[in-house]
Structure 1
């Protein structure tokens, strides 16, 4: 029963992660924390092992969804490697900070991050796009299916600094980083949304390899659960990437905002009061 639950969580994390470009960890980590504290499932999974499980899962979500986005040519490889160069060192630092967090501290800080991400998803459509980063950075172009040419870009120093923070959050909390980088790519760097999602998943794939190696070396990966969750995550990522081409994801984003807000507030409460 436990392994079936893990597989279903993997499918959900993979589908939503690939559909919106989040990476899946932002679904998996709060789900496992919720099930563990409310129904006392997975008593052997502390925050370090949950994060370790999440980062291994994201390798396969990133690989599966990247292969799908490569086929429709919505991956900007140059930007993906630049973002990886900034995020990889951040994941290593975050993983080593993670090992010193107890469960109340993890709940508190992770809850604050979830609430921040919920607010970010809530206001990102209302924020005006910023032209400064494109005007002062190296630019690229992309022509969509409607024949519209998009110009996007960024200063290299800012992209490296931003993605170091994204990598740090990924290593610390086991999230993919797409939940932070995708809005930044769209609002600051003026990426077309589909290119932002495809490039984000490429970065998630590369970063998760480094992230996983670090967490494996720290003994944070519960392989018995990983073998249950990875197949579901891989299948879910394929489904999410396919839906990304066919669906308007606004409804799912609304649901995700509410879920992140609820999980975040609950996590903060548990971190502060321990119940």
Structure 2
């Protein structure tokens, strides 16, 4: 049953990655946490394993998502370059700090974050069509924030990068493309940090690489790669307003699930 859950999770994670430019961690982390607790993982390591495994899965979903968006010339690489280095630094420190936080605290932080993002997206569904000039300092600050938050929560960064780029006047399609590209360095650096920090921990489940649980990683990526391409195709066909509202609805569902059914 758990392996079937991993396969279905890959379908959702891949589609969301391509469609919304997010790594899918908002679905992957709570689902893996449920699976790991069901499998009898220690409560003190289950959330860290879910976050670390989520980041490793995002490496694959983000790669496929980037390929799909790049084929349609949907990625602004100049913006990506401005955010890249601060984002990598923020991701590294976020991953190292996360390994030292308690499991209960991480679960609370994850739930609250999803609620706040859901509310923000509902209150801000307007797409500003006038692109604003943005300083390198602002790009750097937001990049570091995206990386730090993503490593702690095990997500790809789209919940900050997409609203930020939309606020700066980028079209939803361009915002999704850049967000998808940013998910790649986030997931690579974040995965490395969770592997390194997890190697020092005793009593991890068999078939673990640090805080990454390899059976879950393999199960999810089997289906996620194909569906990331489908999501990327859909993102270039759907109207921007509907995409943004759909993103807000998706986040609200995750928020309700985390609060009432975790």
What is the TM-score of this pair, normalised by structure 2? 0.86
Partner residue, 2:6: 6
1:34-113 to 2 correspondences below 5 Å: 35-36=34-35, 40-44=37-41, 46-113=46-113
Partner residue, 2:176: 197
Note the C-alpha offset of 1:260.
Answer: 2.6
C-alpha distance in structure 2 between counterparts of 1:239 and 1:222, whole Å: 26
Matched, 1:117 2:121: no
Give the alignment partner of residue 137 of structure 2, picking from 138, 141, 157.
Answer: 157
Kept after mapping to 1: 8 A contact 2:66/2:177: yes
C-alpha distance in structure 1 between counterparts of 2:186 and 2:87, whole Å: 7
Give the alignment partner of residue 237 of structure 1, picking from 225, 228, 236.
Answer: 228
Kept after mapping to 2: 8 A contact 1:18/1:24: no
Unaligned runs of 5+ in 2: 198-209
Count of residues in correspondence between the two structures: 244
C-alpha distance in structure 1 between counterparts of 2:99 and 2:216, whole Å: 20
C-alpha distance in structure 1 between counterparts of 2:255 and 2:152, whole Å: 19
C-alpha distance in structure 1 between counterparts of 2:14 and 2:102, whole Å: 27
Kept after mapping to 1: 8 A contact 2:16/2:24: yes
Deviations 1:117-175 (A, max 9, x none): 1112211215x85xxxxxxxxxxxxxxxxxxx964541001111111111111110101
Kept after mapping to 2: 8 A contact 1:53/1:225: yes
Note the C-alpha offset of 1:103.
Answer: 2.3
Partner residue, 1:220: 211
What is the TM-score of this pair, normalised by structure 1? 0.82
Partner residue, 2:185: 206
- Any idea what SS the aligned residue of 1:101 has? coil
Partner residue, 1:181: 161
Note the C-alpha offset of 1:29.
Answer: 0.9
Kept after mapping to 2: 8 A contact 1:13/1:28: yes
- Any idea what SS the aligned residue of 1:154 has? coil
Kept after mapping to 2: 8 A contact 1:21/1:179: no
Give the alignment partner of residue 262 of structure 1, picking from 246, 256, 261.
Answer: 256
C-alpha distance in structure 2 between counterparts of 1:54 and 1:242, whole Å: 23
RMSD across aligned C-alpha pairs, in angstroms?
2.1
C-alpha distance in structure 2 between counterparts of 1:105 and 1:176, whole Å: 20
Unaligned runs of 5+ in 1: 130-148, 271-275
C-alpha distance in structure 2 between counterparts of 1:159 and 1:90, whole Å: 13
